Copies of this chain bind each other. A is one copy, B any other.
Amino acid sequence: MSTYQMTAGHGGSPIQLLSPDGVRHPHERYDRFLADVDGNVEGVDRAALLVSIYEDMVVARRVDAEGTALQRQGQLGLWPPFVGQEAAQIGSAHAIGADDFIFPSYREIGVAYARGAELPDLVRQWRGNAHSGWDPFVMNMAPSQVVIGAQTLHAVGYAMGVLFDGAETAVVTYFGDGATSQGDVNESMVFAASFQAPVVFFCQNNQWAISEPVGIQAHVPIARRAPGFGISSVRIDGNDVLACLAATREALERARSGNGPSFIEAVTYRMGPHTTADDPTRYRDANELEDWKEKDPIARFEAYLASIGVVDDAVRARAAEKADAVAAALREATIHMPDPEPESLFEHVYAGPQPVLERQRDHFARYRHGIEGGLGAGAETTAEGGR
């Protein structure tokens, strides 16, 4: 029997501006996108800017941990941790303008936080209170997407609309390494290239799609995919927040200046389980996690900021305090979130009237009324399923 191997998806050297020990390396192509954080723009408070990124990373990690804790305590049904991906999420989020529109997957909770989502909106869907959280048109960010890759087409369509409007908005879509195998993601690159849509494909290659290593999805580094569609592409260290910021800014500039789509592969690592329902010990080596801890995105950035005197113990303490406060507020909001009304089941299915559904709603209301009134045979028995 012949054998086959699936090993690749690695290789190549991702662009790195901050090495894991926190040293900032100059970069010909990207430095121009970091003038403000490098202190080369007059009137910009460099330290404040850097600290805002740092704080967002610290708070995001805390929010993530709180999500996991709330799930463990039964307050949430599920939670998809993004611990380890803070540089990719916060770095890119800080590049995106308020007018730009984001189409995320389910894991971009850090992006949503950095973009200013209300705290309850971060957990609403994981608690089962609704299928989505924030108002997409207030946040300029679509609801999170569970169907792998589907959102990338929405992003390209939105970007086509921007193009037809003659606007300067750009669009960013997030997805994972596993998503690159889906037809939709590839079709989205076809459309983006053909229409030269102002869209940025931001792929967080966190090495895993649940239990499948990236080598099952891609035989060569993922960043090589996009040029075959005519899309410029870059492979960056996704645990380097400055590389993430710079690459996203470059891609957004390309989009806004009419130069079409871009693809960013941010090489990072999912330090936690796929979701709180997952048990990664069944499929991955503990050593792998240890190796990646060496490349921790927050530790790295913190070391850099300490080396340039922007972070000291006071800053650290303030960030930790803020993180605690946000986590506490998130917990409060979660625990006290009111359950949705049963009759809301029938709301928003259609924008207009729908008589068949209305009949079902009325039937349901009568039935509920009957149950509550204790009438009928059924009311004597106990409903299964624990409502």
Binding site for B on A (CB under 8 A): 1-2, 4-6, 8, 163-166, 180-184, 186-187, 190, 193-196, 215-220, 224-231, 258
A183: contacting residue among B8, B183, B195, CB under 8 A:
B183
Give the nearest-CB partner of A1 in chain B.
Answer: B166
A181: contacting residue among B182, B190, B219, B258, CB under 8 A:
B190
Residues of B near A181 (CB, < 8 A) are 187, 190
The reply to whether B226 and A228 form a contact with Cβ atoms under 8 Å apart is: yes
Residues of B near A229 (CB, < 8 A) are 218-220, 225, 228
Pull 7 A–B residue pairs with CB atoms less than 8 Å apart, ordered by A.
A1-B166, A2-B163, A2-B258, A8-B230, A220-B229, A220-B230, A228-B229
Residues of B near A196 (CB, < 8 A) are 4-5, 219
Given A6-B194, A187-B181, decide whether A1 and B164 contact each other with a Cβ distance below 8 A: yes
Tell me the minimal C-beta distance from A320 to chain B in angstroms.
Answer: 43
Give the nearest-CB partner of A226 in chain B.
Answer: B228
Given A224-B228, A225-B229, decide whether A166 and B2 contact each other with a Cβ distance below 8 A: yes
Give the nearest-CB partner of A225 in chain B.
Answer: B228
The reply to whether A187 and B193 form a contact with Cβ atoms under 8 Å apart is: no
Kindly state the separation between the CA atoms of A148 and B231 in the bound complex, as whole angstroms: 24
Residues of B near A230 (CB, < 8 A) are 8, 218-220, 224
Residues of B near A224 (CB, < 8 A) are 227-228, 230
Given A183-B187, A187-B182, decide whether A195 and B226 contact each other with a Cβ distance below 8 A: no
Which of A218, A219, A227 neighbours the largest number of chain B CB atoms within 10 Å of its CB? A219
Give the nearest-CB partner of A165 in chain B.
Answer: B1
The reply to whether B182 and A194 form a contact with Cβ atoms under 8 Å apart is: no
Give the nearest-CB partner of A193 in chain B.
Answer: B219
Given pairs A193-B218, A219-B231, A224-B230, 11 additional interface contacts (CB within 8 A) = A2-B164, A182-B187, A194-B215, A194-B219, A218-B229, A218-B230, A219-B229, A219-B230, A220-B229, A225-B228, A225-B229
A228: contacting residue among B165, B183, B220, CB under 8 A:
B220
The reply to whether B190 and A187 form a contact with Cβ atoms under 8 Å apart is: no
Kindly state the separation between the CA atoms of A1 and B161 in the bound complex, as whole angstroms: 11
Kindly state the separation between the CA atoms of A164 and B3 in the bound complex, as whole angstroms: 7
The reply to whether A194 and B220 form a contact with Cβ atoms under 8 Å apart is: no
Given A181-B187, A187-B182, decide whether A195 and B4 contact each other with a Cβ distance below 8 A: yes
